[in-house]
Amino acid sequence: MDAARAFDCSRDTLIGPDPTWEMLPERVRSRWLAEIQNFPTPPMILELLGGQLSLESYDPQKLSEMLARDSVLTGRLISRANSAVYGLREPITTLGRALVQLGFTTVRSLITRYQMEMTALLLPGMVRQQIVDIQRSADLGAAVAFHWARALKLPDPAGLATRCLLARLGTFLLARHFPQHMEAYLAAGTEPQRLQFEANHFGVTTRTLTYRVAWMWGFPEVLQTELFHLWTPLFADTSDTGRCVACAGLSLGFDPPQHQDDIQKWLAQRAHKRLRWNLEHTGALAALPRLMDSDAYQRELALLSEGDS
């Protein structure tokens, strides 16, 4: 790396200090640990990481038998399957058909959103609209990462999407404690700005809290590590294409691109200079035209952007 680029990257993408768990004062760590311990594990979160919610073993019929016990979730899935996005001539009335129509990635995002909303609502002080906004950003970021990874023919696009779906776990805890600041936080234009906002106003970041929640909930160690390093391409060089794509998806979740111009404007922001360099040098940018031209991506983006019924 030449000295000029190193200087520019450090100046343009500096996010400020990221308080790690060990850096927090003991009393602050104890408070957050109590919060994490009281954050109930969503009923299907471990299934999200494998089994019936794995791309390789996705079985709509078996999954419908499991989900049928929850009438609210069933209603949501059937309603989404009848979205105008699909232009159906005949309405879908059964859960099994809805799961086939929606497909793996959309089903997983909708189930995760529902489970996280229901779980976060159990935390005293949570504002429902903030829960919806946080989870929607994770859903949309997962869609970006999944379809971008498929355009690149990476080996595990579903795994990259899963990281985006889970990355905002810590944000729910921040929203629980600082609801008065969340409007400004959610309106921050870039992911580095969001991390800096968290460090300055909350004294801890989503990155740190998400890692601790993943540890407490018993996620596989490799997933815990990947969640912690998900933000790394924003401020350090990496040759890991998947990590760059997942980071870009996470960053774009609040404002997902629908056209090439959207991506170019996003990449042109000074805060994304390091991430842009990483995407270029891992070859990820070369797949952007295929991503933007993908009917599946555009359809899923439109579906996930719809309001909850």
Q: What is the SS3 assignment for the chain?
A: CCHHHHHHHHHHCCCCCCCCHHHCCHHHHHHHHHHHHCCCCCCCHHHHCCHHHCHHHCCHHHHHHHHCCCHHHHHHHHHHHCCCCCCCCCCCCCHHHHHHHHCHHHHHHHHHHHHHHHHHCCCCCCCHHHHHHHHHHHHHHHHHHHHHHHHHCCCCHHHHHHHHHHCCHHHHHHHHHCHHHHHHHHCCCCHHHHHHHHHHHCCCCHHHHHHHHHHHCCCCHHHHHHHHHHHHHHCCCCCCHHHHHHHHHHHHCCCCCCCHHHHHHHHHCHHHHHHHHHHHHCCHHHHHHHHHCCHHHHHHHHHHHCCCC
Q: Is the pLDDT of residue 159 over 90?
A: no
| Residue, of 241 and 156, whose pLDDT is higher | 241
Output the pTM of the full model. Answer: 0.85
Which range scores top for mean pLDDT: 31-45, 57-71, 127-141, 240-254? 240-254
pLDDT at position 303 over 90: no
Residue 56: the pLDDT is: 60
Sign of CA dihedral 106, 109, 111, 113: negative
Q: What is the pLDDT of residue 178?
A: 94
CATH match of 18-43+105-305 with 3.30.70: no
Q: pLDDT digit string (tens) for 41-75?
A: 887 776 656 555 565 666 788 888 888 888 888 99
The pLDDT of residue 6 is above 80: no
User: Is 224 a residue whose pLDDT tops 60?
Assistant: yes
Percent of the chain clearing pLDDT 90 (strictly above): 40
Looking at residues 279-283, what average pLDDT do you find? 95
What's the pLDDT score for residue 7?
A: 36
Least confident of 34-38, 79-83, 109-113, 179-183: 109-113
Give the mean pLDDT of the chain.
85
Best CA proximity match to 167, nearest among 227, 217, 108, 119: 227
Q: Domain ranges for the chain, please list them.
A: 18-43+105-305, 59-102
